[in-house]
Amino acid sequence: MDAITVIRAKRDRGELTPEQIDWVIDAYTRGEVADYQMAALNMAILLNGMNRQEIARWTAAMIASGERMSWDSLSRPTADKHSTGGVGDKITLPLAPLVAACGAAVPQLSGRGLGHTGGTLDKLESIPGWRALLSNEEMLDVLDSTGAVICAAGDGLAPADKKLYALRDVTGTVESIPLIASSIMSKKIAEGTGSLVLDVKVGSGAFMKTLEDARELASTMVELGTDSGVRTVALLTDMSTPLGLTAGNALEVRESVEVLAGGGPKDVVELTLALAREMLDAAGLKDADPAKALADGSAMDVWRRMIAAQGGDPDAELPTSREQHVITAPSSGVLSRLDAYDVGVAAWRLGAGRARKEDPVQAAAGVEIHAKPGDAVQAGAPLLTLHTDTPERFAYAIESLASAYEIAPEGTAVDPNPIVMDRIA
């Protein structure tokens, strides 16, 4: 076979055969198919789609490109969570130790930022000493000793997806439902978790802009997981407004620790608890009370042990940016809209994300949010604070925020979307 024939088949809206899919995934993993050829195929898939049979085979081929893990030696049931990505989505950080504090084992294999959305590993790497790369033996040891591990997928786990993930980020092909579904589920199925809860984001700051597209993605992933023997459920959650009050790396870690300490923004706490209850239910731990574990400090205890077990110092000072710029409210009234996508792009332009797959990220870069939709604001009061180590980025970030917010007259009623919009099982 050859890459050009496969690209043309999908370019011309044909159905890829199982043999074509198996070959192109294997050949790309081995380096026989070049990045630019796979980028062309990814774009053809984004534009023309895949049917369920193609998606299932594509997922299976990515799983077959590497090893499959097992957690059978653990005494706890395993439960995992995956978010399709959003702005200010730091939920994994408080969620994993919270669910572990309630009796489940959480093998959380996470990724880096994609486009305007942040990456869990990028956030945690702002903690001095913390390591994302663990061997399988180290992962098992951390999981066994603390109940939770958050780390990068090893080179042996779905290596095809590792290459594709980085390529999609820099070629404008992140938003494809087949590629998102197969990327997520190949890793999660190969990871060997017994149950999986999917957080499928909906809105301007998500890759799925509409409920219809989000339901299609969620249904596709639930079907892939169920067919592979993984108990899978999906929540559709709002991403029209940034989650919490920060978008960045160290900024979001700081906010996550506030949640574990019993505080933090209301929306972050609400979603953390909703996902925790789903994970515990899927793991057969229906009687566990995550709200109690958050309130009594046991989730914080797991967090500290988990960070330390991966080389991090839970007491270390987090990085702060060398430069800040404050955007103030142009008038008094009620903040009626704060667009998640625009805020995410601003954080990315400030240095919190990547323009190329090999780019580093700034640990301290990002956006601090001082008001959310429904809040009263005063003219001249801070709306957003921009953080970066490179002040020449401010103008480019400010440009992305020109139409990011609206202020309605005083007394205007603003009815934000519910955090959890639907459930698919």
Same domain, residue pair 137 and 196: yes
Give the residue from 248, 283, 309 where a domain finishes. Answer: 309
* Residue 117: per-residue pLDDT: 84
CATH of the domain at 331: 3.90.1170.30
Which range marks the domain in which residue 177 is found?
Answer: 80-156+164-309
**SS in 3 state form for 128-181?**
CCCCCCCCHHHHHHHHHHHCEEEEECCCCCCHHHHHHHHHHHCCCCCCCHHHHH
Q: Which two tokens stand for residue 244?
A: 């919490």
**Complete DSSP assignment for 46-111:** HHH---HHHHHHHHHHHHHTS-----TT-SSPB-EEEE---SS--THHHHHHHHHHTT-BEEEEE-
Same-domain pairing of 271 and 339: no
* Confidence (pLDDT) at 360: 87
Distance CA 175, CA 208 (A): 7
- Are residue 386 and residue 350 in the same domain, yes or no? yes
Domain edge (last residue) among 283, 309, 335:
309
Structural domain includes residue 256: yes
Assess whether 257 and 173 both reside in one domain: yes
The confidence score (pLDDT) of residue 96 equals 98
Q: How far is residue 288's CA from residue 270's CA, in Å, rounded to a whole number?
A: 17
Interatomic CA distance for residues 313 and 307, integer angstroms:
7
In whole angstroms, give the CA distance from residue 239 to residue 207: 9
Does 64 fall in a domain?
A: no
Q: So what's the pLDDT on residue 88?
A: 96
- Whole-number pLDDT of residue 116: 82
Phi, psi at residue 382, to the nearest 5°? Answer: -65, 135
3-class SS of residue 17 = coil
For residue 151, give the CATH number of its domain. Answer: 3.40.1030.10
CATH code of the domain in which 24 resides: 1.20.970.10
Q: Do 297 and 191 share a structural domain?
A: yes
Find out whether 189 and 109 touch, Cβ atoms under 8 Å.
no
- How far is Cα 409 from Cα 29, in angstroms, rounded to an integer? 56
Do 381 and 403 have their domain in common? yes
Residues identified as active-site: 82, 161, 168, 183, 187
Edge to edge, the sheet with strand 333-338 lists 376-377, 333-338, 405-408
Is the residue at 133 inside a domain? yes
Residues 125 and 34 in one domain: no
Same domain, 338 and 281: no
Same domain, 208 and 138: yes
Could you report how far apart the first and last alpha carbons of the chain are, in Å?
Answer: 38
237 in the same domain as 95: yes
Question: Of 309, 343, 375, which closes a domain?
Answer: 309
- Residue 93: inside a domain, yes or no? yes
pLDDT (0 to 100) of residue 154: 78
289 and 360 in a common domain: no
Q: Which segments in the chain show pLDDT lower than 70?
A: 357
Within this chain, do residues 88 and 171 fall inside the same structural domain, yes or no?
A: yes
pLDDT at 357: 65
pLDDT value at position 174? Answer: 84
125 is a domain residue:
yes
In sequence order, which ranges of 283-400 are alpha helices (DSSP H)? 290-295, 298-309, 340-347, 394-400
Residue 183 falls inside a structural domain: yes
Tally of domains in the chain: 3
| Residue 57, domain member (yes or no) | no
> Would you say residue 425 lies in a domain?
no
